[in-house]
Amino acid sequence: MALVPCQTESRRGVGMEPGPERHLQEVKADASAQDVVDALRQDGAVIVHDLLSADIVTAINAEVQPFVDRADPDMRHLNPGVQFFHSQTRHVSGLAAKSPTFATDVMVHPLLMAVCDSILGPSCARFQLNLAHLLERLPGAGDQFWHRDEIVWNLVPEPKPELQLASVIALVDFTADNGATRVFPGSHRWDPDRYPTNNEAVAAEMPAGSAVVYLGSTFHGGGAHTGSAPRRGVHLSYTLGWLRTEENNYLAVPPEVASRLPRQCQEILGYAVHDAIELGGGYLGMLDLRDPVELLQEGWPGIAPTP
Q: Which residue has the higher pLDDT, 211 or 19?
A: 211
Q: What is the pLDDT of residues 96-106, one digit of tens each?
A: 999 999 999 99
Q: Which residue has the higher pLDDT, 4 or 230?
A: 230
Domain-embedded: residue 59: yes
Cβ atoms of residues 96 and 103 within 8 Å: yes
The predicted pLDDT at position 1 comes to 35
Q: What is the pLDDT of residues 4-15, one digit of tens each?
A: 333 333 222 233
Q: Which residues pair with 182 in a beta bridge?
A: 203, 221
Q: What is the pLDDT of residues 161-219, one digit of tens each?
A: 999 999 999 999 999 999 999 999 999 999 988 999 999 999 999 999 999 999 999 99
Domain-embedded: residue 269: no
Count of domains for the chain: 1
Check which CATH number belongs to the domain holding 174 and give it.
2.60.120.620
pTM (predicted TM-score): 0.90
Domain-embedded: residue 193: yes
Helices and strands (H and E) in the chain: how many: 9, 13
Domain-embedded: residue 27: yes
The predicted pLDDT at position 83 comes to 53
Q: What is the pLDDT of residues 122-152, one digit of tens each?
A: 999 999 999 999 999 999 988 888 999 999 9
Query: How many whole angstroms separate alpha carbon 237 and alpha carbon 135?
Result: 14
Query: How many whole angstroms separate alpha carbon 264 and alpha carbon 267?
Result: 5
The predicted pLDDT at position 232 comes to 97
The predicted pLDDT at position 88 comes to 85
Domain span at residue 171?
A: 20-251
Domain-embedded: residue 160: yes
Name the band, by pLDDT with cuts 50, 70 and 90, for residue 43: very high
Average pLDDT, the chain: 89
Name the band, by pLDDT with cuts 50, 70 and 90, for residue 21: low
Query: How many whole angstroms separate alpha carbon 135 and alpha carbon 156?
Result: 28
